[in-house]
Amino acid sequence: MVVHGDNWKKKQVEGDLKRICQYELKLMDGAPFERYTFILHIGKGSGGGGMEHANSTAIGVYSDEYLPSVAAHEFFHLWNVKRIRPASLDPVDIRRSNTRALSGLRKA
């Protein structure tokens, strides 16, 4: 993990991330990566939320108490969306709209 922030507890953050990773890795029967990095922005001005990537995630939270829920959500995206997704989303062609993926959506 890489942390930018103030007023966070190293042992708490490490313990939270370790527990989350162990649980989700067991749930999904292994890791789809060789190395994974949590990039954390903790404290005032850090915003709220995260963005997952194939082998890392960037998370911004106001304090370390909000980190577990965001980290668990973003880490799970390693499988759900990044590696497991409807066949209609592949292959990705950024030059045009994916009408096959959108055709199954209905207006509420």
**Pairwise CA distance, residues 56 & 59, whole Å:** 10
Question: For 68-97, what is each residue's pLDDT tens digit?
Answer: 999 999 998 887 655 566 666 666 666 776
Q: Is the pLDDT of residue 108 over 50?
A: no
Q: What is the pLDDT of residue 45?
A: 77
48 in Cβ contact with 40 (< 8 Å): no
Average pLDDT over residues 27-51: 88
